[in-house]
Chains A and B, each alone.
Chain A
Amino acid sequence: MITPRYHREIPQRHRLEAGKCKQCGHISFPPRLVCPKCKSKSFETVNLSREGKILTFTIIRVGPDKFSKETPYVVAIIELSEGRSANAGVRLTAQIADCDVDKVEIGDKVKLVFRKIQDEGKSGLHCYGYKAVII
């Protein structure tokens, strides 16, 4: 049963809502209660940009039960375009959809799209969120 957790994470999964520190500008995704850089507790909500690039990735050829019919698929760490600090953008982990797994490369430009991530069995909730596609 993952329904309560899915519901709690909707702002991040659906809209990429992040917390931007009002004191130092550091962006936390998912949002945090205390800024990891300056310990401030005051944040504003920002929606992350939907474009970025692949920092690194792995090809899943033997997946967990729920995803075993979707293999092989790529899971990547993506750095989004906006700067979190001077030398790094906000990073997140996402599946790369609609791709030839053997042609994915580090540095590929991607955009985030809205996709179904998983189903809670045959009669449960459909759980949606972001995946990335290469552009």
Chain B
Amino acid sequence: MIGIVGYGSYLPRYRIKVDLIAKQWGADPEAIKRGLLLYEKTVPGQDEDTITISVEAARYALQRARIDPQKIGAVYIGSESHPYAVKPSATVLIDALGIGPHVHAASYEFACKAGTEAMYSAYSLVKAGEMEYALGIGADTSQGAPGDALEYSASAGGSAFIMGKENVIAEILFTNSYTSDTPDFWRREHEFYPRHAGRFTGEPAYFKHILNAGKTLLEKSGLSPKDFQFAVFHMPNGKFPLEVGKKLGFTKEQMEAGWISPWMGNTYSGSSPTGLSAILDVAKPGDNIFMVSFGSGAGSDGFIFKVTNEIDNVRDLAPKLRDMLDNDKIYLDYGQYAKFRQKIILNE
């Protein structure tokens, strides 16, 4: 049996309400909340970035996996906000957690699906018998340009998954990916904010890729939506995941546990992985979980997990996602948020 042996998530404590962002740019907050089903989002502290978020999430994953960090043979971090353009985020992480130095490490980048790429590679290496354990992480401190629609959703957080063969808590039964050249969203080298081509963002990008990846994944498995207790999809806002899930045949009840974007925002590479983490916090042995990510550019990775008896032994060994999402929040006003996100021009 191969699958997840430990998982962990980390969300910063800071939040900004969508109302404040709307007010700043003269937009109608109610229309945005109704249209996108977004209410607030996480904001990283001034001393937090993709590396620090990855370290905290992976520390919790190690707590749950209860393994010697030295046995981890690969560490992949997927993000569109790696602090360095050249120097993999994992080089810092392994030193912080006592992994390696005999370890394969790399940074992944694929807009919002870099996290599931990291998970897929980690899983594949264990499956190939190359190593006992591998760590895949999706984390981001995403930025939307001020006044841009993305500013309402772009948030911060991440999740880490240790793949292995022993004491598996969620077996990976099937995977499927779907990729094409789609110009919906990109960022050129040296540009601070990403660009998006509005007309490509919905149907030809998000929906097309998730539906194609998802349908083939169901065919491969021979299962139908009613065979699943949980489903989670990439969450660019609150609305899209519910719509795409419905199109695939899933109900709101199946999506409820992993549907965290209305209060978390879009954590990009950490989006559907963090939804999965929220599901594992409440899943029971024997439950089936359906997951499809999406990354602009564009592509989707799909996974089918089966939860094992082992989940009951590890669930309480690290903080749960809903507790981090609902408690100990520190709300920022727009000015503090602009300062935190370095949107204010300062003298050197």
A residues neighboring B (CB under 8 Å): 10, 14-15, 47, 69-70, 97-98, 113-117, 122, 126, 128, 131
Contact = CB atoms under 8 A, between A and B. Distances in A.
Which 7 residue pairs spanning A and B have beta carbons closest together?
A115-B47, A114-B55, A14-B96, A116-B47, A14-B95, A98-B13, A114-B52
Contact of A69 (B49, B96, B97, B346): B346
A70 B48 CA distance: 13
Given A14-B96, A70-B47, A126-B51, 10 more contacts: A10-B95, A15-B96, A69-B346, A70-B46, A97-B45, A98-B14, A114-B56, A116-B47, A126-B83, A128-B92
A97 B46 CA distance: 10
A10 B96 CA distance: 8
Interface string B74-111: 00000000011000000010011110000000000000
A69 B339 contact: yes
Given A116-B48, A116-B49, A47 B339 contact: no
Nearest to A99: B330
A131 B55 CA distance: 13
A113 to B, nearest CB: 6
A116 B55 CA distance: 11
Interface in B38-68: 45-49, 51-52, 55-56, 59
Contact of A113 (B56, B84, B339): B56
Contacts of B348: 122
Interface in B325-341: 330, 339
Contact of A98 (B45, B59, B346): B45
Nearest to B339: A69
Contact of A15 (B14, B83, B84, B95): B95
B98 A47 contact: yes
A95 to B, nearest CB: 8
A114 B45 CA distance: 12
B213 to A, nearest CB: 34
B51 A128 contact: yes
A93 to B, nearest CB: 16
28 contacts: A10-B95, A15-B97, A15-B98, A69-B46, A69-B339, A69-B346, A70-B46, A97-B45, A98-B13, A98-B330, A113-B52, A113-B56, A114-B52, A114-B56, A114-B59, A115-B45, A115-B47, A115-B48, A116-B47, A116-B51, A116-B52, A117-B47, A126-B83, A126-B84, A128-B51, A128-B52, A128-B92, A131-B47
Contacts of A114: 52, 55-56, 59, 96
B51 to A, nearest CB: 7
A69 B96 CA distance: 27
Contacts of A15: 95-98
A114 to B, nearest CB: 4
Nearest to B12: A98
A73 to B, nearest CB: 10
Nearest to A113: B56
